Amino acid sequence: VIKCKAAIAWEAGKPLCLEEVEVAPPKAHEVRIKIVATAVCHTDAYTLSGADPEGCFPVILGHEGAGIVESVGEGVTKVKPGDTVIPLYIPQCGECKFCKNPKTNLCQKIRITQGKGLMPDGTSRFTCKGKQIYHFMGTSTFSEYTVVADISVAKIDAAAPLDKVCLLGCGISTGYGAAVNTAKVERGSTCAVFGLGGVGLAVIMGCKIAGASRIIGIDLNKDKYAKAKEFGATECLSPQDFKKPIQEVLVEMTDGGVDYSFECIGNVGVMRAALEACHKGWGVSVIVGVAAAGQEISTRPFQLVTGRTWKGTAFGGWKSVDNVPKLVTEYMSKKIKVDEFVTHTLPFDKINEAFELMHTGK
C-alpha cells in the first residue's frame, strides 16, 4: 500500500481537500501509476458541482493526467514499471463489439463499474481516514498515485513532457478529433466554433490542419479572441454584439451558412444555434460540449429534412489505446500544438485555485 497526497471531493459543491490517502496495490489486469501532472477540466467541475447524476462522493476527481507506471497486477502485458503513460477515461479493450466496430471509440467493457466509481471488480483502491474513496472516470488523476484498468492506459514516448501531454488525455484530443474524425472537415470549407475554451481551440486547430479556409470563433468572452486567432480562427464574434440570433448572423455572413459547426460549451440553446448556422443541403454540426443531466435539444425537424446533419463526439472519436500514443508523436513532431494550451502551471496544493482560474475563463 502506498501513502500519498490526493485532492478529495468529500461532498458536492465544496472545495477539494488535500489529504493523505492509501492506494492499494493493483489487482489482476490493473496498473498503478505515479501521476506526474494533471490538468483540470470542466467535466471535473461539473461532477464536483453536484449536477452529475453519476457523481459519487467522496471521490478523487481528475481525468487529464500523465505519469509513470509504478507497478502492475497479474496478467498485465502491455505496460511495465517505468513506462510513461496517459490514463484513459474511454478505454480500448479490443474485444467488445464497440472496439471491433471502426465506427466508434466507445469501448463498453468496464462502463458499468466505471460509472459507479469503482474498479472492474466492483471495489475501490483508495481509502482515507478509514473510508472508501470512489474513483472517477476510471482515472482519478488528482492523486499522486492512482490505479487504473490495464485497458485504460496508453503507453507513450518516454521523451514527452508530461506537464504538457497530460492535456491529450481529454481536451485537446477531443476538440482536434471532433474536426478531423467526426466532422471530417474538408479543405476550403467554412467552420464555426462555439466556445473558445481549451476544447474549442483544439477544434480550431483541427479545422486549420484539415485545410478549412474560414474559421469563425464565437464566444461572449472577448479576451479569448487573440488566442483563438493564434490557433487559426480567421475572425471572432460575440452574440451580444447583434440584435438577431447568432445563427442568422452566421447564415448572412457565409452566404447560406457554414459547412461545419461545433458546440464546445454544453449549452442546449447554443447547440440549436450551431445546427441552424449550418448550410442547407450539406451542413454538419457536431456536439462536443456535455450538457447537464436531464436537458434536451430541440430544433425544427425541417432543419434536418433540408439536409443538415447533427452529430456528437466523445474523446474526438479516437480509439484511445491506439491513437493517444500517435497524438503524442504528432505533438513531438510539431504537427499539433499542445504547449500553447497551457496558461498556468500550479503546484498540486493550489488545485482549488486552478478551478477558480478555469471558472473565470483565465
Q: Which residues contact 115 (CB under 8 A, 6 or more apart)?
A: 54
What is the C-alpha to C-alpha distance for residues 104 and 97, in angstroms, rounded to an integer? 10
For the segment 261-311, what is each residue's pLDDT rounded down to a tens digit?
A: 999 999 999 999 999 999 999 999 999 999 988 899 999 999 999 999 999
Question: Which contiguous run of DSSP H or E holds residue 39?
Answer: strand 30-39
Instruction: Please say whether the beta carbons of 98 and 106 come within 8 A.
Output: yes
Task: Tell me the pLDDT tens digit for each residue of 42-97.
Answer: 999 999 998 888 899 999 999 999 999 999 999 999 999 999 999 999 999 999 99
Position 52 scores a pLDDT of 86
Q: Identify the CA nearest to 320 among candidates 90, 85, 95.
A: 90
C-alpha cell at 318: 479516437
Q: How many Cβ atoms are within 10 Å of 314's Cβ, its own excluded?
A: 17
CA 272/CA 276 separation, integer angstroms: 6
CA-atom Rg of the chain in angstroms: 20
Q: Are 362 and 224 in contact (CB under 8 A)?
A: no
All residues at 6 or more sequence positions from 212 whose CB lies less than 8 Å from its CB, including other chains: 185, 186, 187, 188, 189, 190, 191, 260
What pLDDT shows up at residue 292? 86
Q: Give the β-pairing of 190-194 and 214-218.
A: parallel
DSSP notation for 166-179: GGGGTHHHHHHHII
Residues in the chain predicted with pLDDT less than 50, given as ranges, are none
Q: How buried is residue 302: exposed, middle or buried, by Cβ count under 10 Å (0-12/13-18/19+)?
A: exposed
Find the DSSP H helices in the chain.
42-49, 97-100, 111-115, 162-165, 171-177, 198-209, 225-231, 246-253, 268-276, 301-305, 320-332, 351-359
Are 206 and 180 in contact, with CB atoms under 8 Å apart?
Answer: yes
For residues 326 and 315, what is the distance between their CA atoms, to the nearest angstrom? 14
Instruction: Check residue 189 and give its pLDDT.
Output: 98
Angle, CA of 123, 126 and 132, to the nearest 5°? 70
CA angle 299, 303, 309 (to 5 degrees): 100
Q: Which three cell numbers stand for residue 250?
A: 452566421
Task: Give the distance from CA 268 to its chain's centroid.
Answer: 18
Q: How far is C-alpha 40 from the geometric centre of its chain's CA atoms?
A: 10
Longest CA–CA span in the chain (Å) reads 63
Threshold 0.85, pTM exceeds: yes
Residue 1: what pLDDT? Answer: 97
Q: Is 244 exposed, middle or buried (0-12, 13-18, 19+ CB in 10 A)?
A: exposed
Domains of the chain with CATH codes: 2-169+319-352 (3.90.180.10), 172-314 (3.40.50.720)
Nearest Cα residue to 233 out of 264, 206, 258, 273: 206
Q: How far is residue 236's CA from residue 218's CA, in Å, rounded to a whole number? A: 6
